[in-house]
């Protein structure tokens, strides 16, 4: 069965410093992987996705993620954090079927001024 | 920019009452979904809907739940007899294609918070 582990429930960084949000997945086949972001009182928005093309995926707002099959990881990074990045981030893997997405528990990103 | 809209944003109901949560997906999308998030827990898949029928449902989606697309624009989730444990944020989503496809991005609404007393 597919599963996702987000290794940190909270990550706190200073504005202007790099961001690293860690995600490991488990899948019995080549999965599709996604990062979603949820700002307070807003819906879930797709940041980026990996669907078996380039292993380094660029998303919106300067975020990118690298698919590493050998490490079963899909960590999300950004070179320089901005105050507007403060939100909850979800790592998501495609499920057994084509329709279902399996969600990680989320990582709350806190940006210190 | 097209968006998924959900109503109500918050509903409070008594245990045992029926609740209908409404969603208007993006107009050219073909796939529709309901997810839920109980406070402090993971987002969980409930059901997907394609071609006017349920394409997949999770174990959570038991006989108390039903979905409908009554008029070609709205997509509803009905809970027949609510329980305390149904309290959660319910997210509707739609997509043009399946999630793994190039145009398979799920667009989510802002959610409907259901509180069962």
> Model confidence over A7-48: pLDDT tens digits?
999 999 999 999 999 999 998 777 889 999 999 878 899 999
**Pair B77, B21: CB distance under 8 Å:** yes
User: Which segments of chain B have a pLDDT < 70?
Assistant: 102
Q: Is A60 on the interface with B (CB under 8 A)?
A: no
CB of B77 within 8 A of CB of B23? Answer: yes
Q: Does A54 touch chain B (CB under 8 A)?
A: no
CA atoms within 13 A of residue A56's CA, in its CB half-sphere: 3
pLDDT band at A96 (very low <50, low <70, confident <90, very high): low
What SS3 class is residue B58?
coil
Percent of chain A at pLDDT > 70 equals 99
- Give CA–CA dist A41/A43, Å, rounded: 7
Say yes or no: B111 contacts chain A, CB-CB below 8 A. Answer: yes
Are the C-beta atoms of B33 and B55 separated by less than 8 Å?
no
* Closest CA–CA distance from residue A90 to any residue of chain B (Å): 9
Considering only the C-alpha atoms of chain B, give the largest distance between any 2 of them, rounded to a whole number of Å.
43
Q: Residue A52 region, left (φ>0) first, then alpha (ψ -120 to 50), else beta? A: left
Residues A100, B58: C-beta atoms closer than 8 Å: yes
Q: Which of A4, A95, A43 is nearest to B91 (CA)?
A: A43
A54: pLDDT strictly greater than 80: yes
Alpha helices for chain B (secondary structure H): none
Taking the Cβ of residue B106 and every Cβ of chain A, the question of whether any pair is shorter than 8 Å is answered with: yes
How far apart, in whole angstroms, are the C-alpha atoms of residue B18 and residue B23? 17
Best residue of A47, A99, A103, A108 to probe chain B, by most B CBs closer than 10 Å: A99
Sign, CA dihedral B29-A99-B52-B34, equals negative
Q: Using an 8 Å Cβ cutoff, are B24 and B4 in contact?
A: yes
Any chain A CB within 8 A of the CB of B25? no
């Amino acid at each position: 069965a597919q599963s996702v582990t987000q290794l940190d429930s909270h990550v706190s960084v200073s504005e202007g410093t790099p961001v690293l949000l860690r995600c490991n997945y488990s899948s019995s086949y080549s999965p599709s992987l996604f990062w979603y972001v949820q700002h307070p009182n807003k819906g879930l928005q797709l940041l980026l996705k990996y669907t078996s093309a380039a292993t380094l995926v660029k998303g919106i707002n300067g975020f990118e993620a690298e698919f590493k099959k050998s490490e079963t990881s899909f960590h999300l990074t950004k070179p320089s954090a901005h105050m507007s990045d403060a939100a909850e981030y979800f790592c998501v893997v495609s499920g057994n079927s084509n329709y279902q997405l399996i969600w990680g528990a989320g990582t709350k990103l806190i940006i210190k001024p | 920019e097209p968006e998924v809209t959900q109503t109500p944003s918050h509903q409070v109901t008594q245990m045992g009452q029926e609740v209908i949560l409404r969603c208007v997906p993006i107009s050219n999308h073909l796939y529709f979904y309901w997810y839920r998030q109980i406070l402090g827990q993971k987002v969980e898949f409930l059901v997907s809907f394609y071609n006017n029928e349920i394409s997949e449902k999770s174990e959570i989606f038991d006989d108390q739940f039903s979905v409908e697309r009554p008029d070609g624009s709205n997509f509803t989730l009905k809970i027949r007899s609510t329980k305390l444990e149904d309290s959660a944020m319910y997210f509707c989503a739609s997509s043009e294609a399946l999630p793994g496809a190039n145009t398979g991005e799920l667009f989510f609404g802002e959610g409907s918070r259901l509180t069962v007393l």
